Structure 1
């Protein structure tokens, strides 16, 4: 399993830590919090100079810029289950999602709660306004005057009813349905093709970062249900708020950045900077490709690439408000965009606006300069304001942003390689923040079982991260 990688020399003497966690991204830090809460000594090693991984946020000229542009769902239970994230502040897209196609638009508003709904009655009540008509910024009429691309009034009623039913559907029923590509929409039925293609496809493509919807329908159904139940949101202060909150609650000195791991064994880790670290177990919490370098033979999935464009709109701020804008007409490279500072004001300087736009699929691999030129024209149409004086702050491209999860997809891939060696990350679960956190908890539970450690912590509870 370890191939020809240099083998560690454990040396002599007592163990220096119980568990070495490799990777200080979301999964690694979440696992460290679970393990520390159970009374285990944990050392987290990170090759980069800061924690966060793909959940990093750069600060440029007074703006907070996420390297990934994917919104969260406030319906994800792992956000509340993970130690240190209980007090995480989530800023909702309170105006919901605006689907645009040419000069037509349709707003899909989220429920008025950020908590998971229970029971059919509460689900129908909360989602009653999910598919609504209004006149968005820019004066485009919607509702009864919708064009055939997005559907008419009867289509809106059907969409409202289908999303309400989906919001009330339990996990077991969704997982019992045939597993298909997400493009088949097995959880949403009875809608005309124009509504499916014009509304649901761009919405689900944005939720999955997969515009072709090759993702497993079970992953897609859960993503769409999460939207129907709780809407979308951004973490206050940027995506880095999650890993920083997790790291802040770990014992001082337990996270070591700038440390490159060369090889692993069940009882030791060899590093370039620190030599050999003794331990009782190793948990690899890196991305799939880096994990496979340490564990040859580990399956590496394909990936969905993502490019994020951050613009400073300092002269003509879009009047869209806290809404996620989807381009159903595919009039340019941007799949979805938002005035991120309207959702979370801390992301921009006072009196300025931050526009975050996301490019998905093959277009994401285009040179940033090419994307940016095309995006400016498209964004001017979507927002109805001039974009010529917008300033590009950052164009961040990640060719391995989201692990692909085609059918058949196992959302509970094993986290134990063998006793003393474990792996976690969104590539072991669902390909999103929820999956990263859930796989971290599963790995921590496997470690606790193997160590014979109970669920009650040995030490006082950690303080809640700020």
Structure 2
């Protein structure tokens, strides 16, 4: 029997970054593809709202310059990344401590040398320049902290002095050990990290010899920013991959807002490939049914929606738990003194997990002469969220927020897939021949994981279609016909 006529080799359902990346790979290999998106725009959760000249991300996930998927994904050649200041600032007891990672083998040797030197030296020598040069935290005991307004800094130092407690980020030995640990992660291949025994991240970090004050003071707020998990319940493998990205490169944002990334992918596909406003109601291995545009016949169907929408089309697919995220955007007349740094909260005495003066990182996100401050709350939003966030930001930045203008409060209940152990960051993307699924819920719950799953699923589709015969030449698919 002749094969029934079809309008595209592959129909991709969902125009998020995973589906768009997969479509690029398929088309570049001579496979015709059409991408159907129910929403009026592409991008899924990577959305950016425009308000009075400001560009406000709905979730604001962080990228890394060390992410290979951003370099290897076709269509992202024109993506401009705006890096944060090196490392991050950790706010603890009114002081800001800068956390950075030494890169390369030389940095690893120096960090290990610092550990050995400090553990064998008398206590009075544990603030020498070797440790400071190779450590990950420049807010060392006795060193000048990152500047806060004078009154706030004076009160913080006085309070700490009266308590007589050691710095929450640990002494020089702890900091050099953390430096060595991060550098080892930066130089370890990802596949070796994925082969490590799996534990919740908190337990894994503890058994590696890092003291609780280092985990709570540095790694917990950092992983909260990277994975939206303030409790460190994430799989240690996923946490290692996230810390590896931090230690290997610079945290960054796409210029112009999160929507820029999927917009670039969609724009660089052949005209007519992406069709928005098309809702898919049923899928099979050789066709998709739409609500108002009939049936599209094909040789393979790729579900690239979020996990819940995929499970509605294919009952039985597992829907993971999610971390809810609320992002609060404020406009200020003057930027706080932190510059382009990512500011993390180690004290957990307010709703904000991390915050940044985003217009200092990417000036295109605010009108000239205005300042955009974006802050992330993890978990359910508190009652009267804006007032609680303002109070917390006043402590974090050491300045009054009373005159700041609230631009938007974006709450996303299912923002980031949770990755509690056991978690497989390479979940199968091939359900059966002709039916595939991809997205951050099949990999790691990050933008990088979504792009990687798109690459993996394209390879699976190509292998199956290549085994079945010749494929159509690349180009825009034929228009849909009514059923």
Unmatched runs of 5 consecutive residues or more in structure 2: 112-132, 476-483
TM-score w.r.t. structure 1 length?
0.88
User: Counterpart in 2 of 1:198?
Assistant: 217
User: Counterpart in 2 of 1:463?
Assistant: none
Q: Does 1:418 align with 2:440?
A: no
Residues in 2 aligned to 1:151 and 1:13: alpha-carbon distance in whole angstroms: 68
Residues 391-429 of structure 1: CA distance to partner in whole angstroms, max 9, x if unpaired?
Answer: 111111111101111111111111111111110000011
Residues in 2 aligned to 1:43 and 1:165: alpha-carbon distance in whole angstroms: 43
Residues in 1 aligned to 2:182 and 2:8: alpha-carbon distance in whole angstroms: 49
Q: Does 1:60 align with 2:51?
A: yes
Worse-superposed segment, 141-150 or 258-267 = 141-150
User: Counterpart in 2 of 1:135?
Assistant: 145
User: Counterpart in 1 of 2:95?
Assistant: 104
User: Counterpart in 1 of 2:460?
Assistant: 446
Decide whether the 8 Å contact of 2:32 with 2:472 is kept in 1.
Answer: no
User: Counterpart in 2 of 1:5?
Assistant: none
User: Counterpart in 2 of 1:379?
Assistant: 393
Residues in 1 aligned to 2:301 and 2:87: alpha-carbon distance in whole angstroms: 42
User: Counterpart in 1 of 2:415?
Assistant: 401
After superposing on structure 2, the runs of 4+ consecutive aligned residues of structure 1 that deviate more than 4 Å are: 122-127, 141-147, 456-460
Residues 257-288 of structure 1: CA distance to partner in whole angstroms, max 9, x if unpaired?
Answer: 11111101111111112111111111000000
Q: Does 1:318 align with 2:336?
A: yes
User: Counterpart in 2 of 1:229?
Assistant: 248
Decide whether the 8 Å contact of 2:10 with 2:34 is kept in 1.
Answer: yes
Residues in 1 aligned to 2:66 and 2:334: alpha-carbon distance in whole angstroms: 34
Residues in 1 aligned to 2:356 and 2:421: alpha-carbon distance in whole angstroms: 31
Worse-superposed segment, 122-131 or 76-85 = 122-131
Residues in 2 aligned to 1:307 and 1:178: alpha-carbon distance in whole angstroms: 33
Residues in 2 aligned to 1:180 and 1:448: alpha-carbon distance in whole angstroms: 35
Please show how residues 26-45 of structure 1 align to structure 2 within 5 Å. Answer: 26-45=17-36
Other structure's SS at 1:307 match: strand
Residues in 2 aligned to 1:190 and 1:15: alpha-carbon distance in whole angstroms: 59
Residues 113-148 of structure 1: CA distance to partner in whole angstroms, max 9, x if unpaired?
Answer: xxxx6x623656799463223532315489999953
Change (3 A) 1:108 1:132: same
Larger Rg: 2
Please show how residues 428-443 of structure 1 align to structure 2 within 5 Å. Answer: 428-443=442-457
Change (3 A) 1:398 1:241: same
Q: 2:172 aligns with which of 149, 153, 156?
A: 153
User: Counterpart in 1 of 2:105?
Assistant: 120
Change (3 A) 1:110 1:163: closer
TM-superposed CA distance for 1:240, in Å, is 0.9
Unmatched runs of 5 consecutive residues or more in structure 1: 1-11, 112-116, 461-466
Residues in 2 aligned to 1:374 and 1:293: alpha-carbon distance in whole angstroms: 37
Decide whether the 8 Å contact of 2:281 with 2:290 is kept in 1.
Answer: yes
Please show how residues 237-252 of structure 1 align to structure 2 within 5 Å. Answer: 237-252=256-271
Decide whether the 8 Å contact of 2:278 with 2:290 is kept in 1.
Answer: yes
Residues in 1 aligned to 2:166 and 2:52: alpha-carbon distance in whole angstroms: 42
User: Counterpart in 2 of 1:329?
Assistant: 347
Q: Does 1:356 align with 2:341?
A: no
Other structure's SS at 1:357 match: strand
Residues in 1 aligned to 2:260 and 2:193: alpha-carbon distance in whole angstroms: 31
Q: Does 1:92 align with 2:83?
A: yes
Aligned pairs, number? 438
Residues in 2 aligned to 1:317 and 1:259: alpha-carbon distance in whole angstroms: 43
TM-superposed CA distance for 1:187, in Å, is 8.9
Residues in 1 aligned to 2:401 and 2:300: alpha-carbon distance in whole angstroms: 53
TM-superposed CA distance for 1:193, in Å, is 1.9
Change (3 A) 1:188 1:353: farther
Query: RMSD in angstroms over aligned alpha carbons?
Result: 2.7
Residues in 2 aligned to 1:240 and 1:409: alpha-carbon distance in whole angstroms: 28
User: Counterpart in 2 of 1:266?
Assistant: 285
Residues in 2 aligned to 1:110 and 1:345: alpha-carbon distance in whole angstroms: 26
TM-superposed CA distance for 1:200, in Å, is 1.4
Residues in 2 aligned to 1:13 and 1:442: alpha-carbon distance in whole angstroms: 28
Decide whether the 8 Å contact of 2:107 with 2:134 is kept in 1.
Answer: no
Residues in 2 aligned to 1:445 and 1:219: alpha-carbon distance in whole angstroms: 23
